[in-house]
Amino acid sequence: MEAQAILALISAVIAAAPTIEKGIQKAKGLVQALFSAGIVSKAEQDALNAHVEARGNLVRSGFIPLAWRVEADPA
Amino acid sequence: MTKLKSCWLSLGAVVALMLLCAASCEKSRLEPGGAYAPLGTNGVAAQEADLAFYQVDAAYDLAAFSLDAIFTFERENRAALWKVSPEIKHALDRIRPEAWNYSIEYHRARDVYRANPVPANLTRLEATVAKLQQLLATANAVLPAKK
């Protein structure tokens, strides 16, 4: 993944910022981890890996989060 | 929705960070000992640090997180958004199952890559993240524009 692609993705998140307050904090953390010091620390690597692993466990469990399900239209 | 207006207070800081970081992003490297740059029992790098894997994981995590935030926002504000336009829900409903399927695909591909970290398997991860990025862009475009 090119770094420019990462920036493009972050741009998309920022464009969605009016609706995702937590996303802003997440974007900040990722940008800092990726670029600010030039070195991604061991703790930052481990945190990302743990987060992705946890997401993987959820996906493998077969449970689909409510917000990701197609629900009936409002009456 | 008004509670979300405070997000814009943080927006300037993020944009500033992006501008500051754009010039140095190519210099990023991984501290030895982390999950993407493991050390052996002798304290020497067990394998080469895998910055590309770190970056694709970061992109995936951010894309999935952002999609989740958009889907959750629509769900929690469904009644109000439905009055704005039923097409908001309908458009996101077209994205939801596809995004979930790509999440499943990402983790399958990730398992394959971790077992066999060769460029071809990394390409599969990147292709899946690219699909999620497209879905994120589409989902983002569905939401009402800021005022």
The residue whose two tokens read 């336009």 is: B85
Q: For the segment A20-41, what is each residue's pLDDT rounded down to a tens digit? A: 555 556 665 666 555 555 788 8
B16 touches chain A (CB under 8 A): no
| pLDDT number for residue B144 | 76
| Inter-residue long-range contacts of A6-10, CB under 8 Å, 24+ positions, other chains counted | A6/A34, A6/B25, A6/B55, A6/B58, A6/B59, A7/B18, A7/B22, A7/B25, A8/B133, A9/B59, A9/B62, A9/B63, A9/B133, A9/B136, A10/B14, A10/B18, A10/B62
> Cα(B70)–Cα(A26) distance, rounded to whole angstroms?
14
pTM recorded for the entire structure? 0.76
* B6 shares contact with chain A (CB less than 8 Å): yes
State which residue of chain B sits closest to A3, comparing Cα positions: B25
Q: Characterize the bridge pairing of strands B29-30 and A39-40.
A: parallel
- Which tokens belong to B68? 């989740």
Six-digit token pair at A26?
Answer: 């997440």
Note the pLDDT tens digit of each residue in B65-90: 889 999 999 999 999 999 999 999 99
Q: Is B144 left (phi over 0), alpha (psi -120 to 50) or beta?
A: beta
Q: Enumerate the residues of chain B whose CB falls inside 8 A of the CB of residue A6.
A: 25, 55, 58-59
pLDDT in tens, B77-123: 999 999 999 999 999 999 999 999 999 999 999 999 999 999 999 99
CB contact under 8 Å between A36 and B70, yes or no, is no
- Interchain CB contact of B87 with A (< 8 Å): no
- Are residues B66 and A55, on separate chains, in Cβ contact within 8 Å? no
Does B13 score more than 50 pLDDT? no
Judged against a pLDDT cut of 90, whether residue B26 lies above it is answered with no
DSSP letter at A33? I
